[in-house]
Structure 1
């Protein structure tokens, strides 16, 4: 059997709600739970999820490009560079994964959705990992500054901006964390969950999620450090105001006795 390409794309944070309707008007397709299956030419299918991911099963490059141009109008917070993962697949008598090749014993659309669920989570996790690591790298000098000088060399406004940036990253992970759980799709199609679990294991998603959780904890610690610094500066500011007011009162009192 011919080995075919299986490519995952994450192009944006999520798609507009009406994207399924627009796709139905343009393509021959089927909606199953949270996924829409788009049938292109013979043996070419795209499976799209509303959280910014679509999986191309044996789709020619020109058809992928045309489809990407079409869905661009429905993207929310598009990425300059999409997250892309590429595998191969082939029809075999037993389901297994070896050396980036999936050996499928079932080429039905439902089976493809089951596998696509894991592939979609994989690229979404790529996005989370990159954003969290980038935040940690950008702020790695803060603990170093505290260790070397005992204070953070940032203005009050810069500290507030840092807190906002870190909070946004942490919130995004927490708000979309359910995307990394076992999809509801398998409540209705439990017979395909075994394929999904094998894909999850091969892609090492569970251990990567654990590492991601640890990194989110680091961001939480950075938030605490910055928050404490902000409180300290505010209380120091109040202390100086009190000292100045007391000094002013002493000066006024002395003038009255002179």
Structure 2
């Protein structure tokens, strides 16, 4: 069987809640659990998930372009540069993955969803990795400032903004972290979980998730450092107020005794 293109797209944070209904109005579709299978033409399918990902199975360029233009109307927080991963697939008697080619022994829609679940997690993980790396790099000067000067050279307002930014990143990761767990889809179709697990292993997703956890710990440490600095500055401010008030009281008492 000829080798065909299998392309994963992550174009936005998520799609609007009514995305499945809108797609059904335009295309011949089948909804299975958390995925919708969109039949473009014979042997051309798109499998879409609500968290911003769709997987193209052998879809021709023009059909894919038309679909992307259509789907853009229902994106929430679109990415300036989408996350795209390309593989190939073909048919063989035994399921395996080798040199970026998936050898399928089952071309059913259920089998394709099982494979697409892993591919969708892969590009979503790409997004999380990029966002965490960018956040850590943007704040790498904070530990350096502490090491060289013993203090953070930011105003109180700048520290508050940094805490807000870091907290948003951490909260977002925690909120969407379940997307990287084994999907509920396999509760109903456990016979396809082996394919999913093999692809998860090939894409190195579990070890990448462990690295992601370590980077989240770095974010947490930065939050602690900034929080402690903010508390220290507030305490110092209160101490100065107390000192000024005591000095003022001493001046008043001295005047009364003169």
Measured against the shorter chain, the TM-score band is over 0.9
Q: In the alignment, what sits opposite 2:102?
A: 102
Give the structure 2 partner of residue 197 of structure 1: 197
The alignment partner of 1:106 has SS state of: coil
User: Aligned partners of 2:172 and 2:158: how far apart in 1?
Assistant: 21
Instruction: Provide Cα deviations, 1:53-111, integer angstroms capped at 9, x if missing partner.
Output: 00000011111111111111111111000000000001111100001000111111000
Q: CA deviation at 1:198?
A: 0.3
Q: Distance in 2 between matches of 1:239 and 1:134?
A: 37
Q: TM-score, normalization: structure 2?
A: 0.99
1:50 Cα offset (Å): 0.2
Matched, 1:60 2:43: no
Would you say 1:122 and 2:105 are equivalent positions? no
Q: TM-score, normalised by structure 1?
A: 0.99
Stretches of structure 1 lacking an aligned partner (at least 5 in a row): none
Kindly indicate whether residue 75 of structure 2 is the aligned counterpart of residue 75 of structure 1. Answer: yes
- Structure 1 residue 256 displacement after superposition: 1.1
Q: How many residues align?
A: 258
The reply to whether residue 13 of structure 1 matches residue 20 of structure 2 is no
Instruction: Specify the SS of the correspondent of 2:41.
Output: coil
**3-state SS of 1:80 partner:** strand
Cα deviation digits, residues 105-155 of structure 1 (max 9, x gap): 111100000000000000000000011111111111101100110000000
SS in 2 for 1:119: helix
SS in 2 for 1:107: coil
Match of 1:224 in 2: 224
User: CA offsets per residue over residues 189-245 of structure 1, 9 Å max, x none?
Assistant: 001000000000000000000000000000000000000000000000000011111
Structure 2: distance between partners of 1:59 and 1:250: 83
Q: Does 1:254 align with 2:217?
A: no
Cα distance between partner residues in 2 of 1:65 and 1:232: 55
RMSD: 0.5
**Consecutive unaligned residues in structure 2, runs of 5 or more:** none
Measured after TM superposition, the shift of residue 41 of structure 1 is 1.4
**Residue deviations 1:149-171 (CA, integer Å, cap 9, x gap):** 00000000000000000001100
